[in-house]
Structure 1
Amino acid sequence: MTAFTCTTDDAGRILLVRHERLGVVRWELPGGHVEPCETAVDAAARETHEETGVHVTVGPLVADCHHRWRDRTVNILYFHATPAGSPHPHPSEPDIHAVRWLAPDLLDPADTSALAWPVIQHLAYDGHRQLHLEATHHRTSAGWEPTITRQRICS
């Protein structure tokens, strides 16, 4: 299981990391693997701080994704969060090229992870209900990239 945050500031901007995964560099939401004996909420907060330097208060679950690839399934949870303390981000891991607060309407979908894009748009424009995603990966000229195969909103 992995847990990510969609952290928004008072101006409605979202905290994003410019991350390299499987040879592809895109804007992504901060997050990562849930450690043994750790809750998904705690993992989302820890991973966000580790990747961005920003402490967050994790709020409600806004989306989940069943990501099937290479004979395994990873459950991904996305939580809304708000900054707690200093909102000045800085990259802290080698695969992270940049950390920024970005307005959702200024993001380019082609430069944003396919797993993050629908979550960001959902939270920005319809975050009251939970978004459910299913995804896999496909090979592109840039490398292995995620593909959303199903998307639905539950009330």
Structure 2
Amino acid sequence: MRVRAGLLRWGYRALRLWWKVRQPSSYGVKVLLVHPDDPSRCLVVRHSYVDRQWWALPGGGYNPKRETAEAAAIREVAEELSLTITRTPVVLNTLITDREGKIDSLTIFLAEPTSAKFRLNPELSEARWVSMTLAELPPDSSVSRWLKLALAAKT
């Protein structure tokens, strides 16, 4: 698993360089997952290949010619966490950013999986259910801006 994470980090660095040169447009989703038995809790993750110190939301990229943002959110949650979402995710926010050297359209969703039991794929190094206040995280924890935006939009 460590080798895969290293390859993902190297690949991500190569992509960032290409994005700076080409400045493509891309589309992404992030998903605020609410615990199926306790709506005051959400799932936070740490990625294994980028921003590894940050607590963040699961998600990823998609091609709008091939799938909708909603379908991408459901797919990404299934791929990264082996969780199933049966109801259509609710849009919390849509924004455009150039943070990574590309024009990125990002849609943040709210969704509830059918189970609280997850399994990590190599893209994630850690995940845990925490209160929406993030009180269980250590006080010096770094929290992604997308997670903060999702929590603010939820309330």
Structure 1, gaps ≥5 residues long: 127-155
Separation in 2, partners of 1:2, 1:70: 12
Summarize deviations over 1:24-71 as a string: whole Å, max 9, x none.
421111111113411110000000111111111333211122111365
Aligned CA RMSD, in angstroms, stands at 2.1
Instruction: Name the counterpart of 1:130.
Output: none
Structure possessing the higher relative contact order (Cα contacts under 8 Å, 6 or more residues apart):
2
Aligned AA (1:63) = N
2:127 pairs with one of 99, 110, 114:
99
Which residue of 2 is the match for residue 80 of structure 1?
110
SS in structure 1 at match of 2:67: coil
Deviations 1:51-107 (A, max 9, x none): 1111113332111221113652101001110112x3201211x23111211112114
Q: How many residues in Structure 1 have an aligned counterpart in Structure 2?
A: 122
Residue identity in the other structure for 1:121:
A
Percent of pairs with identical residues:
24
Give 2:144's match in structure 1, choosing from 113, 118, 140. 113
The 8 Å contact of residues 91 and 97 in structure 1, kept in 2 or not, is answered as yes
Task: Decide whether the 8 Å contact of 1:3 with 1:40 is kept in 2.
Answer: yes
1:45 aligned onto 2:71: no
Aligned residue in 2 for 1:31: 59
Question: What is the DSSP-based 3-state SS (H/G/I as helix, E as strand, rest coil) of the residue aligned with 2:83?
Answer: coil
Letter in 2 for 1:39: T
The amino acid across from 2:93 in the alignment is: A
> 1:19 aligned to 2:42?
no
Higher relative strand content: 1
Alpha carbons of 1:23 and 1:82: their partners in 2 closer, same or farther (altered >3 Å)? closer
**Partners of 2:75 and 2:126 in 1: how far apart?**
18
CA–CA distance in 1 between the matches of 2:33 and 2:100? 30
Provide the residue aligned with 2:95 in structure 1. 65
What SS does the aligned partner of 1:88 have?
coil
Which of the pair is proportionally richer in helix? Answer: 2
**What is the letter of the counterpart of residue 115 of structure 1?**
W
Q: Which has the larger radius of gyration?
A: 2
Contact kept? 1:41, 1:58, Cα under 8 Å: yes
Corresponding residue for 2:22? none
